[in-house]
Amino acid sequence: MGEVVVLGGSNGEHLAIELSRLSGFELGEIEIKKFPDDETYIRVLSDVSGKDVVYINSLQRDPNESIIETIYTLDTLSDLGAKRIIAIIPYMSYARQDSRFKPGEAISIQTLGKLFRSVKVDYIITVDMHLHRIQDPSIVFGAKFYNITGVRELAKYVKRNHIINYEKTVVIGPDEEAEQWAKIMANELGGLEYGVLEKKRLTAEEVVIEAKGVNVNERDIIIVDDIISTGGTIIEAVKALRSLGAKDIIVTTVHPLLVGNAYAKLLKLNLKDLAGTNTILSPISKVSITPAILEELVKIL
């Protein structure tokens, strides 16, 4: 393995520092600031010529600004002679805008992919990115693409911090889309039962939520989802599970966006625990995604 430099953007510096400590890779430095007219200034302060460069930045907390910063930095690294460029984008914004649902809409993730293709990037690593209608992200982004999961790190956190009664604990995805993450969590926790919540319409006005494939009555619950944004889906799920007789509830998520007053609303649910990874820094970012990132990096490097 040749020389490797790790650099962190505005939303990735915490992960760059962790990765450098775990791996022993050199921690580089970038100067990022604003000109008086609000234009972005970027300067790579470390020598990257002839070296493998790992650049980390999540595209959140003002995603448009984060995208500009990321594209400018990646292009600069290429200009400065980096040998290979590995872009780690723990949270990929616009991933759900992957189709034209109404006439005239921008397919935003396709446009974002064109921006990444316009610069030299050899590898892209993301974490639990929405890929439902993207068959081959390598074609969209123009680089070898790896979409890893943060759910295994969440499962390790649950194991470390909670005593699990394997006869009375169930893993639940709050909707059918989340079944993939519920399955991973259940397997990582030793083969727990898992299921998802689904809405059933009784009449035009009446809808009930049921647990599909599993009994939750008098059982402890571990909810897992990829993103908590406004908190609405989780709040609805917790209320439904309690109405079905569930006992203690732990909520876990990979990407804790926590938009607006979502955190306060979740605190009012009186959960046993509420935890997310640090793909995005938030009050519930208790779980480091860095070990999962390093595991994938070792395969590449």
The reply to whether 77 falls in a domain is yes
pLDDT value of position 135: 82
Q: Residue 243 domain-assigned?
A: yes
* Distance of alpha carbon 169 from alpha carbon 227, whole angstroms: 22
pLDDT over 90, % of the chain: 88
Write the CATH number for 117.
3.40.50.2020
Same domain for 10 and 138, yes or no, is yes
How far from 178 is each of 97, 107, 109, 132, 146, CA to CA, in Å? 18, 23, 21, 12, 20
**pLDDT at residue 208 greater than cutoff 80:** no
Q: Does residue 207 surpass a pLDDT of 80?
A: no
Q: Is residue 74 part of a domain?
A: yes
- Rg of the chain on CA atoms, in Å: 21
For residue 111, is it within any domain? yes
- What confidence score (pLDDT) does residue 89 get? 98
Domain co-membership, 166 together with 242: yes
The tokens for 64 are 């448009």
- Exactly one of 34, 159, 199, 200 is catalytic; name it: 199
Residues 58, 93, single domain; the answer is: yes
Per-residue pLDDT at 193: 96
What are the backbone angles phi and psi of residue 153, rounded to the nearest 5°? -70, -35
Quick one: DSSP state of residue 84? E
* Parent domain of 9: 4-149+288-300
Residue pair 254/279 in contact (Cβ under 8 Å)? The answer is yes
pLDDT for res 258: 97
Q: Are residues 9 and 141 in the same domain?
A: yes
* pLDDT above 90: residue 290: yes
Active site residue 199: yes
Which residues, including other chains, have CB under 8 Å from residue 4's CB and lie 6 or more apart?
23, 25, 26, 51, 52, 53, 54, 301
- pTM assigned to the model: 0.94
Q: Does the residue 283 lie in any domain?
A: no
Q: How confident is the model at residue 213 (pLDDT cuts 50, 70, 90)?
A: confident
Domain count for the chain, please give it: 2
What's the pLDDT score for residue 210?
82
Phi-psi region of 43 (alpha: psi -120 to 50; beta: other; left: phi over 0): beta
Q: Is the pLDDT of residue 206 over 80?
A: no
All residues at 6 or more sequence positions from 182 whose CB lies less than 8 Å from its CB, including other chains: 171, 172, 173, 194, 195, 196, 224
Q: Are residues 251 and 179 part of one domain?
A: yes
Looking at residue 212, its pLDDT comes to: 86
What's the rounded Cα separation, in Å, for the pair 264 and 266?
5
| 296 and 260 both lie in a single domain | no
Q: What is the pLDDT of residues 110-155, one digit of tens each?
A: 999 999 999 999 999 999 998 877 889 999 999 999 999 999 999 9
pLDDT value, residue 272: 98
pLDDT at 201 (0 to 100): 62
The whole-number pLDDT of residue 202 equals: 59
Q: What average pLDDT does range 257-284 have in this prediction?
A: 97
Residues 39 and 115 in one domain: yes
Average pLDDT over residues 38-50: 97
